[in-house]
Amino acid sequence: MAATISPFVSSRLARIPAELRGAGLDALVVTHLPNVRYLTGFSGSAGAVVLFAERAVLVVDFRYVTSAREIAAASGGEIAVEVAERTYDEAIAAVLRREDARRIGIEAAYMPVGRFNKLSAALASGPPSPLGSEEACPSLVATERFVERARVVKDAGEVKTLREGARLLSAVAREAAAFVRAGRSERDIAADIDAAVRRAGFERPAFETIVAGGPNSALPHARPGRRIVQQGEGVVLDFGGVYDGYCVDLTRTLHLGERGPAFRRLFAAVADAHAAAIAAVRPGIRPSEIDAAARDTLARHGLAEAFGHGTGHGLGLEVHEEPRITRVALAQPDAPVEPGMVFTIEPGAYVPGAGGVRIEDDVLVVDDGCEVLTDVPVEL
């Protein structure tokens, strides 16, 4: 496991004090592992960060003491290490009590109620406040998207990693066309793609690879099964890889043998929607407007009903993160996109029982539009 601290981690931590003060918090307990990794570079399978205005405390168990101490040593004092001797929650509570934190943020989206109660109990079991003290018992405060808001705009190190990941995934896509032959099962084709993803230098596939032939291609999230792909049908290939912790994601729809008019019509419409959405991407545009560019194009092709998912999703330490390129929805941020954001553009059209087409690329927002990070012809 890499235990080096990225030069960017320091600048990520530097943004925190103002954010904490702005939210009226003394500390933030970060338990969502991608956020832990973002803030510290720590990539273990368990861990937490307690953020204060002045520093961060990385809480790990005995398995990760060595790598955590290396991170702390490389951080120049910004990151300290706390080893959880018994439970994580007791260790987190001990760190918070030592710093006398009173208003403590937690990540509401990722903390189960049971854990919230345990952490509250661990905090309450500390020494009581002096009699007559104004200070109340420490309280846990639900926060939303505290670290995610920072993660949405990638820094130079992340852009470099995503650009390289997309380049490698594009090479896998070009290789994958040869795996798709009539008479092979979806599952075997998916296994070949997964092997190619690893050979290309990825740590692992970013999600379960989709290989969906014929009628299965009409299911946006089909799982590859025993079905044999046949001559004369379309096959959707949707796969991704994790490269140095960062996810890239790509879809192409192939066709075996001669294309019939129905497939040609679907393909032309989706290719049009894909091009329209990419052309729309520039700083200042809202995700819902990018989505509308794809959706309106499909509607003009008479396929409004055939596109039931969002146009794209952010990429980073997670394969589905902000920004969500979708229609405006309740509690869905629709803030204008900014340079440094990386997300997919993946319109599709699905005709139940017949088939579907999806085309997906990864884009980086730049000052004058976008850079398409993946580089594969739309028709493989």
* Nearer Cβ to Zn ion (36/210): 210
Tell me the closest approach of the beta carbon of residue 248 to Zn ion, in angstroms. Answer: 9
Tell me the closest approach of the beta carbon of residue 253 to Zn ion, in angstroms. Answer: 12
Q: How far is CA 321 from CA 117, 307, 310, 362, in A?
A: 28, 21, 13, 13
Q: 371, 363 in Cβ contact below 8 A?
A: yes
* Nearer Cβ to Zn ion (193/292): 193
* Nearer Cβ to Zn ion (249/318): 249
* Nearer Cβ to Zn ion (41/348): 348
Tokens of 185: 């099962």
Cα–Cα dist 138/277, whole Å = 48
* Nearer Cβ to Zn ion (105/241): 241
The HSE-up count of residue 37 (CA atoms within 13 Å, CB side) is 16
Type of residue numbered 104: I
Tokens of 118: 């345990």
Tell me the closest approach of the beta carbon of residue 380 to Zn ion, in angstroms. Answer: 15
* Nearer Cβ to Zn ion (103/327): 327
Tell me which residue has tokens 């920004």: 323
Tell me the closest approach of the beta carbon of residue 239 to Zn ion, in angstroms. Answer: 7
Tell me the closest approach of the beta carbon of residue 27 to Zn ion, in angstroms. Answer: 35
* Nearer Cβ to Zn ion (140/325): 325
Cα–Cα dist 149/22, whole Å = 14
Q: How far is CA 311 from CA 22, 199, 269, in A?
A: 33, 29, 14
Tell me the closest approach of the beta carbon of residue 313 to Zn ion, in angstroms. Answer: 6
Tell me the closest approach of the beta carbon of residue 161 to Zn ion, in angstroms. Answer: 18
Cα–Cα dist 77/71, whole Å = 10
* Nearer Cβ to Zn ion (192/249): 249
Tell me the closest approach of the beta carbon of residue 340 to Zn ion, in angstroms. Answer: 19
User: Nearest-CA neighbor of 310 among 341, 278, 287?
Assistant: 287
Q: Which helix (H) or strand (E) holds 349?
A: strand 348-351
* Nearer Cβ to Zn ion (82/249): 249
Tell me the closest approach of the beta carbon of residue 249 to Zn ion, in angstroms. Answer: 4
Helices (H) and strands (E) in the chain, counts: 11, 17
User: Nearest-CA neighbor of 278 among 267, 291, 265, 266?
Assistant: 291
User: Nearest-CA neighbor of 203 among 321, 314, 317, 313?
Assistant: 317
Q: 15, 9 in Cβ contact below 8 A?
A: no
CB-based burial of residue 280 (10 Å sphere; 0-12 exposed, 13-18 middle, 19+ buried)?
buried
Tell me the closest approach of the beta carbon of residue 271 to Zn ion, in angstroms. Answer: 16
3-state SS, residue 185 = strand
User: Nearest-CA neighbor of 120 among 131, 132, 144, 136?
Assistant: 136
> Which chain residues interact with Zn ion by CB under 5 A?
238, 249, 251, 344, 360
* Nearer Cβ to Zn ion (74/275): 275
Cα–Cα dist 290/314, whole Å = 13
